[in-house]
Amino acid sequence: MLEGKVAIVTGGGQGIGAAIAQLFAENGMKVVIAEIDEEAGVEREELLRGMGLDVKFVKTDVSDEESVKMMVKKTVEYYGGVDVLVNNAAITSVKSIFERSLEEWERVIRVNLTGPYLCSRYCAEEMAKRGGGVIVNIASTRAFMSEPDTEPYSASKGGLVALTHSLAISLAKYHIRVVCVSPGWIETSEWKKKSLRKKPELRPIDHLQHPAGRVGTPMDIAQLCLFLVDDEKAGFITGVNITVDGGMTVKMIYVD
């Protein structure tokens, strides 16, 4: 029963997080959009409230412990507790290892890995008070395979897969399930804030190279998250990663 549950979606102002926030709210959940980009957060809150959905934007930097603590406190004040956390916010860095500064490496790890750790730590405390909860970590297929020049992003996502099973075991005694979703190529152009929104520019080959015959959408990820946070459907699933990539990571590629 998801009706009335309180969910926090980090980075919920745009992209995949915005789809997760919308689908959760459409299914009766109260949703906090914990987003660093004020323009994106305000816009998304207005849009979803205009659809009659119960959402609240709380400006948050997931890499900052005080900001995370304050966001969780505001969620409890506003909605009375926390039942679900989706660690979705992330940044990337595509650059040669010889040109990337140590600060840039550390920033990606801090947002993509320390951020989920901090949000999990403070949300789990609240979930335990309510007798349980669910944490969903959004990793990436790049946790398992790479293109060149993506070291901190790939390493952070690999870390998030491991953080998932580690938290699942530590938090089991509080009846908190922790699961990981690894998206492949998801086209997010139409889910960006207005100033960045555009029509997707995808070639036929972009779709056809996927065994599923198409590039993914934010709702492909949101639908799995909705299933995973529902104890009646997914109550026996914890600690694992589920890949949602249209089959790309199991496809062998030989050049003729």
Ligand X SMILES: NC(=O)c1ccc[n+]([C@@H]2O[C@H](COP(=O)([O-])OP(=O)(O)OC[C@H]3O[C@@H](n4cnc5c(N)ncnc54)[C@H](O)[C@@H]3O)[C@@H](O)[C@H]2O)c1
Binding stretches for ligand X (CB under 6 A): 10-11, 13-17, 35-37, 40, 60-63, 88-91, 111, 115, 138, 140, 183, 185-186, 188
Beta carbon of residue 215, minimum distance to ligand X (angstroms, whole number): 9
DSSP E strand stretches across 49-191: 55-59, 84-87, 133-138, 176-183
**b/e map of 57-91 (b: 16 or more CB within 10 Å)?**
bbbbbbbbeebbeebbebbeeebeebbbbbbbbbb
Q: Which of 117, 122, 153, 174 is catalytic?
A: 153
Task: Locate all alpha helices (DSSP H) within 8-150, ordered by sequence.
Answer: 15-26, 38-50, 65-79, 102-109, 115-129
Locate 256 and state its tokens: 């003729």
- Catalytic-residue membership of 153: yes
C-alpha to C-alpha distance for 140 and 64, rounded to whole angstroms: 23
Beta carbon of residue 72, minimum distance to ligand X (angstroms, whole number): 13
Q: Which of 102, 112, 198 is nearest to 158 (CA)?
A: 112
Amino acid at 206: D
Question: Of 88 and 231, which has the nearer Cβ to ligand X?
Answer: 88
What residue is closest to ligand X based on CB?
Answer: 15
Question: Of 44 and 177, which has the nearer Cβ to ligand X?
Answer: 44
Beta carbon of residue 69, minimum distance to ligand X (angstroms, whole number): 14
Question: Of 137 and 238, which has the nearer Cβ to ligand X?
Answer: 137
Beta carbon of residue 31, minimum distance to ligand X (angstroms, whole number): 15
Question: Of 120 and 231, which has the nearer Cβ to ligand X?
Answer: 120
Question: Of 33 and 53, which has the nearer Cβ to ligand X?
Answer: 33
Question: Of 225 and 231, which has the nearer Cβ to ligand X?
Answer: 225
C-alpha to C-alpha distance for 25 and 117, rounded to whole angstroms: 24
Cβ of 233: how many Cβ atoms within 10 Å? 12
C-alpha to C-alpha distance for 1 and 222, rounded to whole angstroms: 17
Beta carbon of residue 19, minimum distance to ligand X (angstroms, whole number): 8
Task: Note whether 32 and 8 are within 8 A (CB).
Answer: yes
C-alpha to C-alpha distance for 130 and 137, rounded to whole angstroms: 21
**Alpha-carbon dihedral sign for residues 245, 33, 230, 27:** negative
| Active-site residue list | 153
